[in-house]
Every structure is written in C-alpha cells, then in structure tokens.
C-alpha cells in the first residue's frame, strides 16, 4: 500500500467533505475531531486516507463517560472504568494504519474496551470480530456500537487470548491489551500474509509489535515503546 503525506491545510479541507455516516450530522465536537485528525494524527505521519477519514467520522466523545466528553479529543488516553482505558488517538491511528487492511477483510480485535477501535476499523470497511473479557465493558460497547449502527461489528464477551477460532482465519488481528508473550492461538488464527499489531511485555517494558505471517512463519518487527493495560484471564491473572 502506497501512502503519501497530506499537507495539513489540504487535509482540513478534505475532511470537511468526506465525513462518514456517523460524522455527517453536525455536533458540538466536530471541530475538535477535525483538529485531532490534523494535528495529533496526520502531522505525526499517519497518511492512510481510510484511517484519517474513519477517525474524522467516529464520534470519539460517545465512547467515554459524559463527564469526560470535553476531554475526548485530547492527545491522551482516558479511563473508561473498571481499570481500563480508551487509547490515545494517535495510537489508535497508528495501529489501524499498521494493519494495512482493505474493505471487506476480516479483522479480529482482542480487547473491545469502549468499542472505539472497533468503530474506527468498521468505518474503514472491514468486518470486525471483537472480544472483551470484562462483561460490563462488553455490554456497554455493544450498546454504543448498536446505537451508531455498525452492522459489520460482532462483539463477544470472553477470553481474547484464545481468539475466535470458529471465525478464523483473520486477515488481520489487533490487540489492545498487553500479554507478556505472544498468544499462540492468535498467531494460529492469522491468515497467510496477514498482519497482527500487538503490544507485548511486562507492565513498564512493553513494545508495540507488527507480526506478519509468511509461509506459515511469523516475522516480528518492533514499532515503538508503549504502555497498555495487561491481558488477563477470567481470574485476573496476567498472560
């Protein structure tokens, strides 16, 4: 996939014309959303047009608590309750771009959280299968995603370490919580030629990794140091 840098002034004009279905109606946060895309995302080198358009379309403020909505478009993660967070906008964009997905492909997400990352991917035209281990968060995400009418997202409440084998193989897998080691069930469910973006490591020593499957073998590339919530099982034990 060829990506070119889009000047901020041209991007601003383009975004005003290409808002997706969820971003087409006026709202109090439209200007904040557009500035987020231009200054936090595009100016840092994210150039995939489908990622930029998706993040200009998805109403991020609806995925956080009402009392935090004024902070929804800031350059930082935010708490969503139960010890979990919604990732910093730039990290969402970076991980989405690294997947290099095409419309119609199937993507597995581990760690639904608020549902925001799933919504961004859905706006990019892929079919999203997303798993959340915390029942309360899973139900909240389902409620928001249903309200925004995303028919191409399926949410499951369960242990993401095990993946979703009945719907495998997946063209791409994105993991939004950090295991200490790469889960073998996930690499097994990645299609040949597929890409997985995953943070991995101990709490204060994590790296965002890009994994690609080539002739059945996994190639690993370090992208950047990160800090994500840990991947845990149903008893809260870290994987």
Residues classed as catalytic: 87
Tokens standing for residue 192: 């040949």
Cβ burial, residue 160 (10 Å; 0-12/13-18/19+): buried
Task: Please list, in sequence order, all residues whose beta carbon lies within 8 angstroms of the beta carbon of residue 6, skipping any fewer than 6 positions away.
Answer: 14, 42, 47, 49, 52
> What is d(CA 132, CA 47) in angstroms, rounded to the nearest whole number?
29
Q: 11 near 37, Cβ under 8 Å? A: yes
Q: Is the peptide bond before 169 cis (omega within 30 degrees of 0)?
A: yes
Tokens 């079919």 found at = 127
CA 37, 43, 45, 49 torsion-angle sign: positive
Nearest CA among 71, 14, 3 for reference residue 37: 14
* Cα–Cα dist 152/47, whole Å: 24
Is 98:197 a contact under the CB 8 Å cutoff? yes
């Amino acid at each position: 996939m060829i990506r070119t840098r889009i000047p901020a002034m041209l991007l601003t004009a383009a975004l005003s014309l290409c808002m997706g279905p969820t971003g087409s109606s006026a709202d109090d946060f439209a200007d904040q959303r557009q500035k987020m895309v231009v200054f936090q995302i595009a100016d840092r080198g994210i150039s995939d047009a489908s990622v930029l358009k998706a993040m200009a379309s998805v109403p991020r403020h609806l995925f956080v608590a009402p009392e935090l909505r004024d902070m929804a478009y800031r350059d930082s993660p935010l708490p969503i309750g139960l010890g979990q967070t919604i990732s910093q906008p730039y990290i969402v964009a970076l991980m989405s771009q690294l997947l290099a997905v095409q419309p119609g492909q199937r993507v597995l997400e581990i760690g639904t959280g608020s549902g925001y990352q799933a919504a961004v991917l859905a706006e990019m035209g892929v079919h999203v299968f997303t798993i959340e281990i915390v029942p309360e968060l899973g139900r909240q995400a389902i409620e928001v995603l249903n309200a925004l009418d995303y028919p191409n997202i399926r949410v499951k409440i369960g242990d993401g370490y095990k993946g979703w084998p009945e719907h495998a193989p997946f063209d791409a897998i994105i993991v939004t919580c950090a295991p200490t080691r790469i889960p073998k069930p996930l690499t097994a469910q990645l299609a040949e030629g597929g890409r997985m973006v995953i943070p991995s490591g101990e709490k204060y020593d994590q790296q965002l990794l890009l994994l690609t499957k080539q002739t059945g073998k996994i190639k690993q590339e370090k992208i950047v140091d990160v800090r994500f919530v840990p991947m845990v099982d149903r008893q809260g034990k870290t994987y």
